[in-house]
Structure 1
Amino acid sequence: MSHEAALPLTDADIARYRDDGAICIRGAFAPDWIERLRAAIDADMQAPGPMVRINTPQGNPGLFFVDFQLWQRHDACRAFVFESPAADIAGRLMGASEVVYYHDHLLVKEPGTVERTPWHHDQPYYPIDGRQIVSLWLPLDAVARDVCVEYVRGSHRWGRWFAPKFFRQGGVNLQVQDPRFEDVPDIDAERSQHAFLSWDIEPGDVIAFHALTLHGAPGNRSSSRRRRAWATRWCGEDARYASRVGQISPPLDGHGLQPGDKLACDLFPRVRPISG
């Protein structure tokens, strides 16, 4: 079933996404989706998956909790993938006639968390080439601009790929090799050279951003408000499985794909078929 007729997207939104690399879509998801996903996320935190990471060192305040692939373990998350407007939003933004679900990524920063998410963009972490890759960053709590993810406007159009890093303390380099990779610039030191995008957002709003858009996030300075966010990753028909030398993140395997293959498979399901 397609939800495209009810999508909260205009042609201007799509043009802005393609120019800026990130947009905030207001009121994209009904309250029922938010309530169901909140319950699933809190259940996941009680019984995490095999790729769970705690990015807050012992003794530090708060908690930076990360997990992946909730769609494989929680009915509400799986329903969101296949039944919510998310796939149609992703397809329209990418200009894609086919939408494949790549993976999901839970990021929770509890009140008082000091660990920030360093500047990075996502595609170098993935064994995927192509331009049709979009993330939908869905907050499950109200997020003030000062704790929201921040995006470098237009950075997806720089034609540059930055070497990935672990988000653990110390920023240890991932052992991924690619001749395109260069070090991430010191964005904080050169803020005057860039334009940034960030928003005050409410549950039901969603941020859509391109896989090559540079972004980072502060800790959660609030003393009382949680920052639960669930990011889903979507690909179009130009995405191809790519060879990478070294580690990828998340380390998804068992798909059987070879370099150059289209992504659709049991692990990366086709959610919206090719039109016609």
Structure 2
Amino acid sequence: MTERQLTSAEIDQYQQDGVVCVRNAVDTKWIQQLTEFGQHQLDHPSQLCNDNDSDKDSQQGRMFTDRYLWRTNELIYRYAKESGCARLAAQAMQSKSSRFYFDHLLIKKANTSAPTPWHQDVPYWPFRGRQIASIWLALTPVTVKGSALEFVRGSHNDRVFYLPEAFGTSGANAGWTGKGEGVPCPDIEADRDSFDVIGFDLEPGDALIFSAWTLHGAQGNLSSDQDRFALSTRWLGDDAIWDPRPGTDPSVNADEVRVQPGEHPTDNAIFPEFYRMG
């Protein structure tokens, strides 16, 4: 497969809406490998997992995440480096480069009613800048009712900083959310008609590229037979600066990095540069 490039229309949509749906974003060779890896992590989670496992026998009601797996797993490292996602992120952000921040495995088993709360990503992370984005890759077919992401179109341009919401309490470093700066996120579900909410049904290999400033969330997985597997990678563009303020994710902390607050994260051991425009 020829490596995917964003069209000018896709770049314009990202810039305008804060999100773009990219069909056939990566080579299909990655999908089976990553799906099998996701199942492995369900059975062998890392210390940074968050696992709402309400029924260990049937797996129903299970909302599972795991992250920073690239540090120890060769497949996730190769996917981040070789899949072309670094280039896609840079193109969407209109950045000359993209540095990898972390990977995030996101699984909702069938018949899991728990939603992903509405939030924006940037308040959780020790960075500031407009050129910060995620690429959410579908590993299984997913509909909006099956817990595909939804977005408030254009909310990345509101420049509002929302208080991080807690997603769960299991796993290492639990409980750090809800302590940072920002205003409470609006109750979008209580008044959806007042917001320009958009969502996308996806096939394996399709991806959503969205700004860290865009409000987004997901319904529960109401499917009775289809699990939702996705892998999100997070990317830092030219204007991202290291900002380890209180209340941000402590998984990467000031003791590990060789950059000072306010500096671009030019630390290739922690934030490897996987793309630079030639």
TM over 0.5, shorter chain = yes
Quick one: distance in 2 between partners of 1:223 and 1:85?
33
RMSD over equivalenced CA pairs, Å: 2.0
> Where does 1:149-160 land on structure 2 (aligned, <5 Å)?
149-160=149-160
Residue type of the partner of 2:201? D
- Report what 1:236 is aligned to: 237
How far is 1:29 from its partner?
1.3
Alpha-carbon separation, structure 2, partners of 1:250 and 1:121: 17
The answer to whether the 8 A contact 1:99-1:237 is kept is: yes
Amino acid at match of 1:156: H
Which residue is equivalent to 1:220?
A: 221
TM value normalised by structure 2: 0.90
Among 263, 268, 273, the alignment partner of 2:271 is 268
Return closer, same or farther for 1:67/1:173 CA change in 2, 3 Å cut-off.
Answer: closer
SS in 2 for 1:182: coil
Q: Identity of paired residues, percent?
A: 35
Number of aligned residue pairs = 267
- Counterpart of 2:200, as a letter, is W
Amino acid at match of 1:71: W
| Structure 1 residue 7 displacement after superposition | 2.2
Q: For each residue in 1:26-74, what CA deviation from the matched residue of structure 2 results, as whole angstroms up to 9, or x when unmatched?
A: 0111211111211222222222222111134468933111110121222
The whole-number CA distance in structure 1 between the counterparts of 2:258 and 2:178 is: 22
Number of the residue aligned with 2:66: 67
Partner of 2:36: 39
Q: Which residue of 2 aligns with 1:104?
A: 103
Matches within 5 A, 1:191-210: 191-210=192-211
Map 1:136-215 → 2, pairs under 5 A = 136-147=135-146, 148-168=148-168, 174-178=177-181, 181-215=182-216
Deviation by residue 1:4-24 (Cα, 9 ceiling, x = unmatched): x74242101101111001111
Provide the rounded CA distance (Å) in 2 between the counterparts of 1:72 and 1:226: 26
Find the residue that maps to 2:45 and give its secondary structure: coil
Distance 1:177 1:53 in 2: 20
Paired residue for 1:82?
81
Q: CA deviation at 1:239?
A: 0.3
Q: Would you say 1:14 and 2:11 are equivalent positions?
A: yes
**Structure 1 CA distance for aligned equivalents of residues 223 and 187 of structure 2:** 26
- The 8 Å contact of residues 176 and 244 in structure 1, kept in 2 or not, is answered as no
Give, as a single letter, the amino acid of the residue that structure 2 aligns with 1:211: A
Determine the structure 2 residue equivalent to 1:127: 126
Q: 1:264 to 1:96 in 2, by over 3 A?
A: same
Cα distance per residue 1:225-274 (max 9 Å; x no partner) = 110111100011110001412x322622322432012113111111123x
Gapped runs of 5+ residues in structure 2?
Answer: 170-174
Q: Report what 1:115 is aligned to.
A: 114
Query: Counterpart amino acid of 1:9?
Result: L
**Distance in structure 1 (CA, Å) of the matches to 2:113 and 2:24:** 29
